[in-house]
Structures are given as structure tokens and as C-alpha cells.
Structure 1
């Protein structure tokens, strides 16, 4: 996930299609900074909705399941339907944003978020609820590509890291708020309010995007140079805008000469495989089993509904706070220490969680308090390591000319495995016990950290060309 640039640390490498500011250019004015922050915050509402709509089902499911008489299998289908939509959304988002533009895609995404929230809230049965969640998934998949791309393309290099990182921070804020809303509406019919309240940020996003300018990079790619220059002049001097336009033109020309077939060349395979392994490890340690099913696990462990949701609220708070800390540290400490160290703690937490159930009776952990502590430790280690790395590493390890196409492999891997895991959590618990579930996730994490220890370069402070050259086969 994207990172901030911090004082005294090397600035993040530029994202595809963006340019660095010429040496000696004047700093941004306060008005330009406010304009950039406002535009980025509006776009990052897509990240908030991403987090809210993925997290709210964990609380709502406690009441949806008995009301609609859902089996474990149908609970998993209800959760996973959103991820199925996200896979379709992320596969189609690239073509849609290229054809319609970033701004229009954000508008459509906000509208779909709103429709999905309303339909979810009034769903008369599980079939309609599943359709609504597929719609929400389409919006989430689209937002996961479009929001970071839009922010990266409007931001100057020196503030790009901080601004793009708003998206990831807002995802964790959305998850935390979803747990808070779940606690506030903890009653039989409250689940409809939980799902329906997603309408409010969706409307705020839609109205905010109406006031945004289109991405200058997209405008330039459509031959609308003067409009692109006008968009850049909102936050750049004329000299800086002209220099950035020239670099965008050069990068766009390089991108048009590449194809997905180029990614299969031996020189590109190590980087593509690394991006896929980071994304796969992110999911295979079971983070979304925790996000989607934590209240269900806690209720099965003997907690009441309110206590289960309240405990999940604590987990969401830890996730949000540690993500913020990671954004402050990633350009100081480096990627490798955070990723390898944090993932190692994730593995230990999974072993600990499995042991709690092994020592307990009747499918319950030996201590509910220790279960909550173990889940908090798990998410505290995940947030600054694998949580941050999936987007960050995939944005840094590929040459500029193929970065957009190459990073899509990691994105599709993320959503595909998210779908598979959400569809199998309760079934795996029934078949292998919670101990088996957590220890399988721990084994996947161990395999991932061994590979990453051997293959992951430190990318802090290095140029994209240097990073990609070190990974060429």
C-alpha cells in the first residue's frame, strides 16, 4: 500500500506517467496544497467506501444469518459475492478509466456505491442482498485501481507518497467505522442501517468528484494538451507544468509500445513473480478471514453479539493506528525490515491463535481475552507489513513503461485469493477446526516470508530503473 514521503528520507519513486518537479522550482503555494489535499481526500472517499463495505458485513452477518436462515455455506457466499464483483471490477477498470477518464469513472463508482448501499438495506431476501453486494464489489474493484491512479496523476512528486497513502489510510478508517456502526446498531433490524449508511459517503464522494478536474495525464493521452496544461496550472508554475507535460508525453509513448506479452519475457518474470507473491502472501495469511469473520469467531468463542462487535472495534482501531504509524516509518526504516519483520510476527500470532483453540474445548479457545489479544497482535503486525506492501511493492518494482500492466497481476491475485478465502473460512473451520485454519495460514505466511527474504530488494531511496534492473532475469 502506498507510502508517505517523510522529512529527511528519500522521496518515493514516481508512479507511472507522473513527472518529477524540475530542480529549483518554487514550492507549492498554500492554495495549491489545499487544492491537492482536497481533491485527493475526495477521491480517497473511494478507499473509505472500500473499507466500509468490506468490513460492515462482519457485524451485519450476525443478524442477517438468523433472519434469512443462512447456512455456513450461504454465509460464505454472501460475504464472497462482494469479492466476485471486485474481481470483475478490477479486470474491467483499466479499460473503463482509459476510455472514459479517471473523473467519470470515479463518478460512476460513487453512484454504484450508493445504489448498492440502498439495495442492500432494503433487500427482502438473500438473493437480492447478494446482487447488491456484487454491485458494491464492482465499485470496490474499480476504486482500488482508479483512486490511487487519479491521486498519483494529479500530485507532484514531492507530495505524491503522502497523498496516495491517503487511500490506504482511508480503507482502514472505513473498516474501523464499519465496526463502530455495527456496534451502534446492534439489534435485529440494525443490519439494514449498517448496510444502508454506506449511502452517505457515496453521496459525498459523488458530489465532491463533480468539482474535480480530470487527470492531466488522461487529457494529454486524448490529445487535449491545453486542457491538461490548465489542470496542471492549478498546482504548478507554468515552467513546471510544461516540463511535466513533456515527460508525460515521453512516458505515454513508451507505454504504447508495450503489451502484456512483453511481461512474459525472461527479463520481466522475476519482478512479475515477486509482485504476485507479495499479493498472494497478503491474502494467504488470512487477513480478510479476520476482517470479515472476527465477530462470528468471537461469538462462537462465547461472546455476546455486542461484546463480539465491540472487540472487533478494537481490532479495527489497531489496524487504523498501525497503518498510520507505518506511513510515517516506511521511508525511514525501509520496506524489507517492515515487511519481513511484520510478516514474521504475523506467523507467530497465527501459531498462538491456533494453540489457543488446541488447548480449549468444544471448538472454543482456552480464553476469550487471549483470543482478542491474539487477533490484535495479528492485525498490528499485518498493517505495517503485508498491509502496506501489496500496493507499495507493486508500484516500485516494474519499469515505468510496463508498470500499469505489470502491477495488475498483483491486483488480480489479491482479489482472486480474497474471494477464495472468504468463500472457505467457515467450511475450513468445520473441517479442520480453528487450529487447522490458523496454522494453514501460518504455513502460507512462512513460505511467503522465505521467498521474500531471498528475492525482495530494498527499494527505499532507489530509482525505479535501478530497482527494475536488479530484478531482471
Structure 2
């Protein structure tokens, strides 16, 4: 591999890794808003379009169909266009989609544009963490990548409160969706001011540009950074690394870990809460749509606060301990959630379910919530990082779809109690998976993590 690096003649304005992380994390905020907004909007949408329970599941899950496709295609687009241009494109799609969904004249039109928004969500879910991880110093990478998950939870919380505000103002579901055009515009403008990642530039042979970006990022040693990127790409070139390499010994274990955590994150039932929390509260006896959305909004705020706490934990306690603590706590809380829906707790079920959902969201927000997206962005080598993260995202969205499309049907078939107990059992299996297979990546450079997989655990 040829490497011609010349130091730029002019001094360029330094940039903060925190700034570019916050800009890119707007993609996460849109991810959260556009997935969470349907929970409250559904209570009004079903009346506008006269939806059956099955059609309500489709209304919720349509965005996930697009997300599955978007997650699969994101890796290749991310590698071809680059991280920055991909995020610029997503800003345009989010903005146009928000406006067109809000003016949907009928249910099929609504579904088509929810699928298109889903394409952007699925792509953003893998592109944003990769962009942030490749722009971050190793010591703060965990916290900075977790800003994306904080933005996701903030987007969800904002969507809940927007739902509540528009519901109380009797404005219906249309402005609930239209509001997301605002962060879409800000994402586009913010990425215009942000650079491409040095690792992507180097992988395309643009070493001078890569070094220029490294010199601009505060907190990164440019000489060491360029040397590590060069060594990593050289090793990949010698191994003729490509997407197929992910299925060979070494990186196959990385793919198993990434996709495994992706599956666990969904199988604990998180999006039954995100999408159906108002419905759950109504089943627990909430007297009105507004009161159900209010209770959901409280859960959304707790989600944001717990995710802020996770930013301080992920680079201190590490990824693996948080996964173990979180999955164990989720199993316990889900058991009690199922128990609270039994007849003997009927007189107090509303309060008990609210408390249980708050505990559930805390356990998730400090563990599986941020750690999955962080690890999917840091465990793969540069040239397959986008594809590896894309496959993990695809797994996540596929199971997200399965959980969301089946929740109401499952509740109708076996009741709330056994539905939540199934999720509790899956949480136990997730704990075992993390205990046996997931390594610690805290404090390691991306190149050191790659070396771990190739050398094998010791």
C-alpha cells in the first residue's frame, strides 16, 4: 500500500470530537423521534384511518420494514459515499419524509412514507455510531459513541411530550410527525460543517486528507493515529479482507458477538415499551389517551436521565459489566411486570406497572441501550466496519420488527403476564450469552480490538 503523507501548508481550525459527535447524534435523535412518535399518534391515527388491531400493528411496524432494508444497504453506501455524505443524504430523507407523512391523505400513502423514513432510520442506526467512533479519541470513544444512544432516548422522550402536547391541544397526529423535519434540517446543516473521518479517507488512499483531519481533532495524536490506521489497513490488505472475511475464524466471533448483542437488545422486549407504552397503560386502567401518554412521557424522561448516567459508566465500569448488570436486572423486572398483571394486583396495577416500567427502562438504558450501538461500531476492522455494523443493525431491526408485529397478538393469545415472562426468560439467556462470549473493549484502540479478534482470546 502506498502512503504519501504531506503536512498541510496552512493551519486549519481545530474541531472538537464532542462537537462532531453531537452533530452526528442528531441522526440518533431522529431515529428515536421517528420510532417513538407512533406510540401516542396511534391512539388518534386509528380513528382517522379506521384501523383494526392488525392494521395498528402494521402502522407501527411499517417503519421497521424500511429500517431492515436500510440497515442492510447502509454498509455499502457508507463505504462508497463516505460517512459524511451518507449522513447528509439521510438529513434530506428525514426532512422530506416528515412533511409528507404529516400530509398523508390515506393509510397506504402513510405506510409508504413510513417505510421510506424507516430506510433512513435503519441506515442512521449503523452510520452514526461508525462516524462517531472513527472521529473519537480512544479514551473518550465510549462516552462519545454513547451520545448517539442518549440522542435516541432524547428523541423518544421528545416524541412522547410532543404527542402529549398535540393531544391536549386537540391537534391530532399530523403535527406529531411533522415536527421531526426540524432536526432533519439541523443534521444536514451540521454535517456540512463537519469533516469526513480519517479512517475512511485513508481507506480510499487519501492520506493527506486523513492526516489533515487527525490534526484538527482535539485530543488525538495525529502521528500515532495515522500510523495505527496505516498498520491496520496494511494488515487488511495483506489478508485481502472483504465482507466474506467476517465469516472466517477470528472476525466470525466478532460478528457473532455483535449480532448476538443486537438480538438480545430486542428480545428483552424494549420496543414493546417504546411503541406500545400508552397501550400498556390503557390495559392497566389509564382513564384516557392523554393520561396514558403522560405516563409514557414520564418513562421517556427517565430513559434520558438513565442514558446520561450511562455516559459516565461506559468508560469507567466497561461494556461487559454493564451488559451483565443490565440483563440480570431486566430479567427480574420483567418477571415482576408479568406478576403485576395477575388478578391479585388488580387494585394497584396502574402504579405498579409505572414503577416497573421505570425500573425496566433504567436497567436497559445503562446497559443494552448504549452498549450495543457502541460495540457494533468498535469491534470490526476499518474496511468491514460499516458492513459489520450494518449486519448488526439489520439483526437488530429484524428482531425489532418481529417483537413489534407480534406484541398485541401475543398479548391477546396468552395474556400480558406470560408475554412479559417470555421476555424475562430471553433476558436470562442474554445474560448467559454476555457472560460466556462478550469481551471487554474499554480503553482499547480500534486497531487493538481488531488484533484481539485475530489473535483469539487469551
2:349 maps to 1:367 = yes
Deviation at residue 448 of structure 1 after TM alignment: 1.7
TM-score relative to the length of structure 1: 0.86
Q: 2:303 aligns with which of 314, 319, 325?
A: 319
Aligned to 1:25: none
Structure 1 partner of 2:332: 348
The residue number in structure 2 matching 1:306 is: 290
2:225 and 2:250 map into 1 onto residues whose CA distance is 29
Match of 2:428 in 1: 446
Shift of 1:395: 4.2
1:293 aligns with 2:276: yes
Deviation of the 1:450 alpha carbon: 2.1
- Partner Cα distance (1:425, 1:225) in 2: 50
Matched, 1:226 2:208: yes
CA distance in 1, matches of 2:347, 2:426: 22
Is 2:267–2:426's contact at 8 Å kept on the other side of the alignment?
Answer: yes
Q: Distance in 2 between matches of 1:401 and 1:194?
A: 39
- Secondary structure of 2:205 counterpart: coil
Q: What are the superposed Cα offsets for residues 417-450 of structure 1, whole Å, 9 maximum, x if unpaired?
A: 0011111111111111111211111111112212
With over 3 angstroms needed to count, the CA separation of the structure-2 counterparts of 1:397 and 1:47, relative to structure 1, is closer
What CA distance in whole angstroms lies between the structure 2 residues aligned with 1:229 and 1:452?
A: 37
Taking the aligned partners of 2:236 and 2:32, their CA distance within structure 1 comes to 31
What's 2:30 paired with? 49
* CA RMSD, 1 decimal: 2.6
Shift of 1:206: 1.4
Q: What's the offset of the Cα at 1:321?
A: 0.9
Runs of 4+ in 1 over 6 A off after TM superposition: none
For residue 195 of structure 1, report the CA deviation from its aligned partner.
0.5
TM-aligned CA deviation for residue 312 of structure 1: 0.6
Deviation at 1:86, TM superposition (A): 0.9
The structural deviation recorded for 1:120 is 1.1
Out of 170, 175, 193, the residue aligned to residue 156 of structure 2 is 175
| Matching residue of 1:338 | 322
| Matched residues, number | 440
Which residue, out of 52, 57, 69, partners 2:50?
69
- Whether 1:283 and 2:266 are equivalent positions in the alignment is yes
Match 1:464 to one of 439, 449, 452: 449
Name 1:86's counterpart in structure 2. Answer: 67
Equivalent runs, 1:60-459 vs 2, <5 Å: 60-186=41-167, 189-235=171-217, 240-256=221-237, 257-303=240-286, 304-359=288-343, 367-398=349-380, 403-459=385-441
Gaps of 5+ in 1: 1-28
Task: Label 1:101 to 1:461 Cα distance change in 2 as closer, same or farther (>3 A).
Answer: closer
Secondary structure class of the residue paired with 1:213: coil
Query: Which structure 2 residue ranges, 5 or more long, are not aligned?
Result: 1-10
- CA change 1:99–1:409 in 2 (3 A) is closer
**TM-score, scaled relative to structure 2:** 0.88
